[in-house]
Amino acid sequence: EADIYQTPRYLVIGTGKKITLECSQTMGHDKMYWYQQDPGMELHLIHYSYGVNSTEKGDLSSESTVSRIRTEHFPLTLESARPSHTSQYLCASSEQKHIYNEQFFGPGTRLTVL
């Protein structure tokens, strides 16, 4: 079982609020990722990190920001939540091992912005 955690699991919040979605992993993985996924739709990469102090934007434009101050922690922040941010947010991590570099996913945070 993957040791990657996300909190909160569910969040309902009003428009304009600042929120931070937490993601932590205890596997010592250097690489961490945030995906956004609407119900029944594709995974979209919104942010990733190769290690401490490294962050990059993904393929899908996002108004969120991330930070990577510690290896195990990769929080995602929305400064001002809007209804268009309503979605499921999945955190993942991986370790490069030859050509086998499985991504382990957290349980996800389901965000609803009213």
Interface residues with other proteins (CB under 8 A) are 31, 33, 39-40, 42-43, 45, 48, 50, 58-59, 90, 96, 99-108
Closest distance between other proteins and the C-beta of residue 105, in Å?
4
Closest distance between other proteins and the C-beta of residue 48, in Å?
6
Contact 19, 111 (CB under 8 A): yes
Closest distance between other proteins and the C-beta of residue 66, in Å?
14
Please name the residue that has the structure tokens 């993957």. 2
- Is 71 or 104 the residue whose CB approaches other proteins more closely? 104
CA 82 – CA 68 distance, rounded (Å): 24
CA 114 to chain centre: 21
The residues pairing with 51 across neighbouring beta strands, listed in sequence order, are 54
